[in-house]
Structure 1
Amino acid sequence: MTEYKTEAQKKKFYRSGDWESLRQQALERDNHECQQCKREGRVHVDSIKVEGERKSVELNVHHKYEIEDYPQLALVLDNLETLCLNCHNKMHNRVFGEQKKKRWDDEMW
């Protein structure tokens, strides 16, 4: 079984034709909409390609069970869901621009 522990192994996987094909299936199944936003009653759809411009990345296809821990699920459609960048970052605890909560609410003096 293939492992996806190193950056090089992950890059190779995410550049593979098998992944790209399955990724497109997941996007189509999810109607090119963020599934987490949908669960929260919001709508976040993919950007539209404008001729002559680079398409902005709005959506990622997320592995519910990460490939480094569950390599056998790397190419299983039911393990994938479409997420917007913001929701995908939250799933991975990559939150930018927010201040960490203070440990105590006491005043500093």
Structure 2
Amino acid sequence: MLGSHIFSSEDIQKSFNCVAKHLQPGGLLIISCSNAYGNSLVELDNGIVHKKIATTELIENEHYALLNYLFYENEKLLAQETVKLKLISYQTCKMMLEKAGLVEKDINPGKYYTYLKN
């Protein structure tokens, strides 16, 4: 799954088209992978605790990830932010990139995907 800050499929396609337009023939688009959707708890300096809670939602037949970032000091909530990402399946992403003129070149699951401009 690809997580996008852009919610409109049409706008995501436009963004892929723009990336392809700026690549020279033979140029590569490299998409690195991360496990942004997992929960975590990290103790930072000065007694601050950073907690991330990841959930998914189905809204009007579209999948979204909700990433909640919370910061605590002595169990008191200091700050909270929620980031919403539209989730795009691997097949949909591949199809959109191909439509933009980018073909899959190499995959290392969990690490990166590379796409070549024709």
Q: Fold-level match, TM-score > 0.5?
A: no
Tell me the TM-score normalized by structure 2.
0.21
Higher helix share: 1
Using the size of structure 1 for normalisation, the TM-score is 0.22
Q: Which has the higher strand share?
A: 2
